[in-house]
Amino acid sequence: MSVATITRPRLSQIRSWLAKIPDPEIPVISLIDLGIIRDVAWRGDTLEVTVTPTYSGCPATGVINLEIERTLIEHGIEKLELKRQLSPAWTTAWISAEGREKLTAYGIAPPQEGTAACAGALKPLNVSCPQCGSVKTERISQFGSTPCKAHYRCTECLEPFDYFKSI
Amino acid sequence: MGVTSAAIAEFATRMGDNCLILGHRDSEWCGHSPALEEDIALANTALDHVGQAQLWLGLACEIEGRGKTADTLAFLRDASGYRNLLLVEQPNGDFGRTIMRQFLFDAWHLPMLKALINSSDKRIAEIAEKASKEVAYHLERSTDLVVRLGDGTRESQARMQTALDFLWPYTGEMFLGDALDDELEAAGIAPAPASLRPAWDQHVGRTLAEATLKAPDKSYAQKGGKRGVHSEHLGFILAEMQFLQRAYPGAKW
């Protein structure tokens, strides 16, 4: 089989395909928005996609890998290798500006910038309510509906909401 | 470097087994916690630990190179093959004891992982870097709850003190080194267990004081888990955890 004649889609094209794959648990943001696609590169006729997990035990990881494979195969990629990269460990600082906006619009408060290096959730954070915008919010629990979220409540409009916690 | 790959695999197994067994214990609360938020928090903590176990046990298998997977180790070893600390296999008891066990473990786990970030073995350092971010949240939560329940009602205070008294003898094992630990320390792969004691003493001491709880003054340590000598409780955990793979070998989703 001749490898030289295979047309290799441009990496920017591949990234745009990946940018259409939604996160399985928060479908408004894509894998690119989430910042978990660490690299896309051709090695000969094999496409290597490097993915980093969000949380060690996040059950979405397996689904994400399946979705990447399915999407790229649909676009004609024949040889694909998914690589797992643990270091540098994923941080919410890698969520794109667009991703943060999409989270807010969806009703999830985006992670506070500059707090990624520490757990620090016991310290008061000025998390804005994604419903009414008030900063009068309080934490109910630092663990929420998925590993990446905490439970908050707005004391102004009284709505409970998810906060995408910094890691 | 004089460290054998078998020694590194054994260390990864110890780390992974702590996570797996504590993760399993925490998961036993799923649907039974005293409040919805606590149920979710314990289930999330369990999930983190099981994920960390997959990374550590996966590394042990990779080093061994005989085609085993983390699942093989989790589901097909008997109790004597497990290398977890006795602390993590202790029964859940009431919610207070579960939180106290988590706290005593987290206060060791975080400094251990932080030290391992500087491991001379890159694979170990990478897992530690990843896990330490999750464990920072675990410690923050368990510390907060120990204070709130300890310095809480008369009932919650008494239960937390009972839990502390019960679990205390199992804490010493975290800081006892053996020949394997010496070998790993010399090669810069893992810290000497005893070196983690000051950070643990400080955090636990400060938290217990704030929680109006008193650590027993006994220093006797129950030990054996790291070399596969376990309490009877581990067998019961494995009977439940391994049932499906034992009864239907190779079963898949």
Final residue of a structural domain among A84, A107, A128 = A84
A89 lies in some domain: no
Name every chain A residue with its beta carbon within 8 A of the beta carbon of B33: none
Residue range A67-122, pLDDT digits in tens:
999 999 999 999 999 999 999 999 999 999 999 999 999 999 999 876 544 555 44
Assigned token pair, A39: 């690299």
Of A8, A19, A16, A87, which Cα lies nearest the Cα of A48? A8
Task: Report the domain count for chain B.
Answer: 1
Final residue of a structural domain among A62, A84, A106 = A84
Indicate whether this model's pTM tops 0.80: yes
The confidence band for A3, taking pLDDT boundaries of 50, 70 and 90, is low
A40 lies in some domain: yes
pLDDT value of residue A121: 47
| A100, A143: one domain | yes
A160 lies in some domain: yes
| A100, A57: one domain | no
Q: Find the domain containing B56 and state its range.
A: 5-247
Name every chain A residue with its beta carbon within 8 A of the beta carbon of B62: none
Place of tokens 């928060």: A26
In order along chain B (253 residues), what is the average pLDDT of each group of 10 residues?
A: 86 98 98 94 97 98 94 96 98 98 98 98 97 96 97 98 98 97 97 98 98 93 95 97 96 86
Sign of CA dihedral A99, A101, A102, A103: positive
A19 lies in some domain: yes
B49 lies in some domain: yes
Q: Within 13 Å, how many C-alpha atoms sit on residue B172's CB side?
A: 13
Assigned token pair, B139: 């410690």
Task: Report the domain count for chain A.
Answer: 2
* A103/A141 Cα distance (integer angstroms): 19
Q: What share of chain A is helix, strand, coil (3-state, %, to 5)?
A: 25, 25, 55
Of A38, A65, A57, which Cα lies nearest the Cα of B70? A57
Element (DSSP H or E) covering residue B105 = helix B95-116
pLDDT value of residue B182: 96
pLDDT value of residue B2: 64
B253 lies in some domain: no
A3 lies in some domain: no
| A15, A80: one domain | yes
Name every chain A residue with its beta carbon within 8 A of the beta carbon of B144: 122
* B81/B60 Cα distance (integer angstroms): 13
* B158/B149 Cα distance (integer angstroms): 9
B34 lies in some domain: yes
Q: B137 vs A165: CB contact, 8 Å cut-off? A: yes
pLDDT value of residue A164: 92
Phi first, then psi, for residue B229 (nearest 5°) are -100, 110
Residue A127 near residue A150, CB atoms below 8 Å: no
Q: Decide if A118 touches B, using CB distance below 8 A.
A: yes
Final residue of a structural domain among A84, A115, A136 = A84
* B97/B92 Cα distance (integer angstroms): 6
Q: Please give the residue of chain A at the shortest CA–CA distance from B141.
A: A142
Question: Tell me, what CATH number does B63's domain have?
Answer: 1.20.1260.10
| A63, A104: one domain | no
Q: What percent of chain A has pLDDT over 90?
A: 75
Q: Decide if A66 touches B, using CB distance below 8 A.
A: no
* B175/A68 Cα distance (integer angstroms): 44
Q: Which of A36, A50, A54, A56 to mutate to test the interface with B (most CBs of B within 10 A)?
A: A56
DSSP 8-state secondary structure symbol assigned to residue A23? P
pLDDT value of residue A124: 57
Edge to edge, the sheet with strand A46-51 lists A37-43, A46-51, A80-84
Q: Find the domain containing A106 and state its range.
A: 95-164
